Amino acid sequence: MIFCSLYSGSSGNSIFVSSGEAKVLIDAGLPGKNIEKALNEISENASELDAIFVTHEHIDHIKGVGVLSRRYDIPIYANELTWKAMSSLVGNIKEHNIKVMSKNYTSIKDMDIKSFPISHDAAAAQGYTLYHNKKKAAVATDLGYYSDVVKENIEDADVILFESNHDIEMLKFGPYPYNLKRRILSDVGHLSNEASGKAIADMIDGYKRKKVILGHLSKTNNYPELAYQTVVNILTARKINLNKDISLTVAKRDMPSNYVEF
């Protein structure tokens, strides 16, 4: 399998995953031309995409979904509530490309894709796990909290893109209005660096030697170095050996990063 974060952060999100035959995106939260450019940079082409899977209807996850679907005749997969919430935001989509996931799993050629619920202030937000030949990748961002369901679905993945959205003190004393701060800190908001570190330490137990990519960092309330170091400090305190037990990196906001073949 190939896994690559094309963009990750509060400005827009998109992840490319491929198997032997299938090529898909998880979200397309930037203009279509930006997604095309990012794919070209990793020697891929948007015209070869087999599907786009949507986590939820917020604009930083769906901005380019409709454009790409219309331009390249790409099917869009999302659950029913997400489709209802985003239908007016993505423009006209050909009927055969509207794929409502009535179950939490589907297959695209030789890749199996499973969704799982996450806690976020959206209609029915979900994460995804993707499988091929006993290899597994997972995407879990926009988490209000790290639930047992999230843990069960992602802890055995070989590669995980996991949220580390904000530093709590930066958020508390930053420029956001009070109501927005409360929303981000709530159980339907975003995962802090500290909460991310504790969750990663928990999921590593019994499932070591995996690659974890910190993603969806806030541009206003976080720094890549701060997110990384906060998580490292927690892992070290739990006696988890960096590079031996886990490979930890941070996804870049505005360019492809963490290209992984596994």
The domain limits of the chain are 2-253
The pTM of the full predicted model, rounded to 2 decimals, is 0.97
Give bridge partners of residue 3 from the DSSP assignment: 17, 260
Q: Give the span between the Cα atoms of 236 and 231, in whole angstroms.
A: 9
Say what percent of the chain tops pLDDT 70: 100
How sure is the predictor about 3, in pLDDT bands with cuts at 50, 70 and 90? very high
Does residue 118 come out as left (phi exceeding 0), alpha (psi in the -120 to 50 range) or beta? Answer: beta
The pLDDT tens digits for 143-171 are 999 999 999 999 999 999 999 999 999 99
How sure is the predictor about 243, in pLDDT bands with cuts at 50, 70 and 90? confident
Strands (E), the chain: 2-7, 14-18, 23-26, 51-53, 76-78, 98-100, 105-108, 111-117, 126-132, 135-140, 159-163, 210-215, 246-250, 257-261
Average pLDDT across the chain, whole number? 97
At 180, the amino acid letter reads L
The pLDDT of 208-227, averaged and rounded, is 97
Q: Give the span between the Cα atoms of 42 and 217, in whole angstroms.
A: 22
pLDDT at 206 over 90: no
- pLDDT at position 205 is 86
Q: Which CATH number fits domain 2-253: 3.40.50.1240, 3.40.50.720, 3.30.1490.20, 3.60.15.10?
A: 3.60.15.10
